[in-house]
């Protein structure tokens, strides 16, 4: 079989027969091959195998900040490919990327590179267990830190007053931004915690920003109970400013995890920490391994991205802020014009859209909206997430807003029909 000879129908059929769900990650199940198969991307656009051109706000799920196929980055990557890539030794590119990254985050001394965000959060949590000689961890409800590793172990949901049956290696789940419940939780369990890991902005759970008193509580609890605070900036890193969401919201984590945008579309993950902690990797007490870790293509791409962002910080982030701000206002207006209500939350170049549903079917409203947008040539990410990049100018924002208005209209129409059917 030669894929290039197949038509759309047989590609979909083969994908569904050969790959579970037709996708290589469950995250894409709702946007499987029946909806689109992408063959090419450039700038703010992707092209499907049936030659649809889509305005794309997925940006590789947040990995692409400068636009697909950014010429100078592509050129750098081609050079690296030309030198042979997987020689599995310390290489100049990883040293360069480490140095660039730590210059931007001077509170940290060292960095370990891996391949994915999931692995980086796993390594950071493992390190916290070695540092503290404790096993319990706390995660927040509706925060996501990857598909494998400790945050996917069974969770004990903390509900005060908390006489919890505590499992052997507990993973506690606590509510984000709920200072009262979290204070109670830390009072009861803080001394048993190796770490608290969190998304500074809850992008995987609706885009809520952290309250200042909540950040204060996390810092105080960390100082009092001696656990490590791990900031998961896999999504917010380099999207919410060059110095991440930690700078914007005044968070001082012990460890920070990056991924996605750091690699400019090439798989990467990174854990940053202070020397006293990170040297436990060097002594072998903390485990971190991987055939592809520190890969030249990924680290050279990261070094390029960091250089580019540092050299053009003002221009890049004011562009992103402007584009995201216009998009946000436009979406709210589009919903209003169509007689619907939506909430747009987030920070910097990532935002989450929630459709308010007056007719009692909120669970799939965002998915229907997303499908309606796709039918009108605009692609957004799972759960109503919009990733904005440098390639999004006025034209793309306007295209998105007018498609959104029609999609909100279609959603309203559907709700109206459902309402009649329910009567």
Segment near ligand PMP (CB under 6 A), from 67-75, 143-151, 153-161, 398-406? 143-151
Task: Tell me which stretch binds ligand PMP (CB under 6 A): 66-74, 111-119, 207-215, 219-227.
Answer: 111-119
Asked if 31 is part of the footprint of ligand PMP (rule: CB under 6 A), the reply reads: no
Taking the C-alpha atoms of residue 323 and residue 390, their distance in angstroms, rounded to an integer, is 9
d(CA 265, CA 287): 26
Query: b/e map of 157-194 (b: 16 or more CB within 10 Å)?
Result: ebeeebeeeeeeebbbbbbbbbeeebbbbbebbbebbb
415 contributes a contact to ligand PMP by CB under 6 A: no
CB of 16 to ligand PMP, least distance (A): 23
Toward ligand PMP, which CB reaches closer, 331 or 352?
352
Q: Among residues 190, 210, 237, 259, which is the contact residue for ligand PMP, using CB under 6 A?
A: 259
Nearer Cβ to ligand PMP (149/226): 149
Q: Is 254 in the site for ligand PMP (CB under 6 A)?
A: no
CB of residue 204 vs ligand PMP: minimum separation in angstroms?
5
Backbone angles phi, psi at 210, to 5 degrees: -80, 140
Please report whether residue 351 would count as binding ligand PMP according to CB under 6 A: no
Residue 23 CA to chain centroid, in angstroms? 19
Least distance (Å) from ligand PMP to the CB of residue 155?
A: 16
Number of chain residues interacting with ligand PMP (CB under 6 A): 13
| Strand-strand pairing, 193-198 and 341-347 | unpaired
Residue 322 burial (10 A CB sphere; 0-12, 13-18, 19+): middle
Query: Given candidates 232, 254, 396, 415, which one binds ligand PMP under the rule CB under 6 A?
Result: 232
Closest residue (Cβ) to ligand PMP?
A: 117
Nearer to ligand PMP, 232 or 357 (CB): 232
Does 118 participate in binding ligand PMP (rule CB under 6 A)?
A: yes
The DSSP output letter for 391 is T
Residues 267-326 touching ligand PMP, rule: CB under 6 A, are: none
Q: How far apart are CA 264 and CA 316, in angstroms?
A: 14
Minimum gap (Å) between residue 116 Cβ and ligand PMP: 4
Q: Which x/- pattern, by CB under 6 A, does the window 153-192 give for ligand PMP? A: ----------------------------------------
Give the integer Cα–Cα distance in Å for 399 and 56.
Answer: 11
Q: Does 144 bind ligand PMP (CB under 6 A)?
A: yes
List, in order, residues 6 or more apart from 254 with CB less than 8 Å away: 128, 195, 222, 228, 229, 230, 273, 274, 277
From the list 9-17, 113-121, 293-301, 385-393, the region that binds ligand PMP by CB under 6 A is 113-121
Residue 39 CB neighbours (<10 A): 14
Q: Among 146, 330, 348, 384, which residue interacts with ligand PMP (rule: CB under 6 A)? A: 146
Cα separation, 257 vs 259, in Å, equals 7
| 8 Å CB contact between 246 and 231 | yes
Quick check: 114 binds ligand PMP (CB under 6 A)? no
Report in angstroms how near the CB of residue 5 gets to ligand PMP at its nearest.
Answer: 32
Does residue 199 belong to the site contacting ligand PMP (CB under 6 A)? yes
Q: How far apart are CA 40 and CA 46, in angstroms?
A: 6
Nearer to ligand PMP, 56 or 372 (CB): 56
CB of 143 to ligand PMP, least distance (A): 7
How many other CB atoms are there within 10 angstroms of residue 20's CB atom? 9
What SS3 class is residue 291?
A: coil
- Please give the sequence-ordered ranges of beta strands (E in DSSP) within 266-390, or none if there are none: 269-273, 341-347, 350-356, 378-379, 385-387
Nearer to ligand PMP, 170 or 269 (CB): 269
116 near ligand PMP, rule: CB under 6 A: yes
Does 121 bind ligand PMP (CB under 6 A)? Our answer is: yes
**How many CB atoms are located within 10 Å of the residue 72 CB?**
10
Interface ranges with ligand PMP (CB under 6 A)? 116-118, 121, 144-146, 199, 204, 232, 234-235, 259
């Amino acid at each position: 079989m030669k894929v290039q000879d197949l038509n759309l129908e047989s590609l979909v059929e083969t994908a569904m027969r050969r790959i579970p769900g037709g996708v290589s990650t469950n995250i894409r199940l709702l946007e499987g091959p029946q909806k689109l198969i992408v063959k090419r991307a450039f700038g703010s656009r992707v092209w499907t195998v049936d030659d649809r051109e889509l305005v794309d706000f997925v940006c590789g799920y947040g990995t692409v900040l400068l636009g697909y196929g950014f010429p100078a980055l592509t050129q750098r990557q081609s050079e690296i490919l030309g030198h042979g890539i997987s020689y599995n030794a310390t290489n100049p590119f990883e040293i360069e990327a480490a140095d660039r990254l730590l210059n931007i985050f001077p509170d940290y001394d060292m960095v370990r590179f891996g391949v994915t965000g999931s692995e980086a959060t796993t390594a950071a949590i493992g390190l916290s267990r070695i540092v503290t000689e404790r096993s319990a961890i706390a995660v927040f409800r509706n925060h996501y830190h990857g598909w494998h590793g400790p945050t996917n172990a069974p969770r004990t949901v903390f509900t005060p007053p908390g006489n919890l049956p505590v499992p052997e290696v507990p993973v506690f789940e606590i509510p984000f931004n709920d200072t009262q419940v979290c204070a109670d939780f830390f009072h009861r369990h803080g001394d048993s915690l190796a770490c608290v890991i969190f998304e500074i902005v809850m992008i995987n759970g609706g885009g809520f920003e952290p309250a200042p008193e909540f950040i204060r509580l996390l810092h105080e609890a960390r100082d009092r109970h001696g656990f490590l605070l791990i900031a998961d900036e896999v999504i917010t890193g380099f999207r919410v400013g060059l110095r991440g969401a930690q700078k914007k919201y005044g968070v001082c984590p012990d460890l920070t995890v990056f991924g996605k945008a750091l690699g400019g579309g090439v798989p990467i993950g990174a854990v940053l920490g202070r020397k006293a902690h990170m040297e436990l990797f060097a002594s072998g007490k903390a485990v971190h391994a991987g055939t592809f870790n520190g890969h030249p293509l990924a680290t050279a791409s990261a070094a390029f991205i960091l250089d580019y962002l540092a050299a053009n910080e003002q221009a890049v982030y004011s562009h992103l802020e402007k584009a995201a701000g216009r998009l946000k206002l436009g979406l709210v207006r589009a919903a209003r014009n169509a007689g619907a209500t939506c909430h747009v939350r987030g920070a910097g170049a990532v935002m989450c859209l929630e459709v308010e549903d007056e007719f009692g079917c909120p669970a799939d409203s965002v998915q229907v909206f997303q499908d309606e947008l796709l039918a009108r040539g605009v692609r957004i990410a799972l759960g109503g997430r919009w990733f904005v990049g440098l390639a999004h100018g006025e034209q793309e924002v306007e295209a998105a807003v007018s498609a959104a208005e029609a999609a909100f209209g279609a959603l309203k129409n559907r709700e109206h029909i459902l309402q009649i059917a329910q009567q």
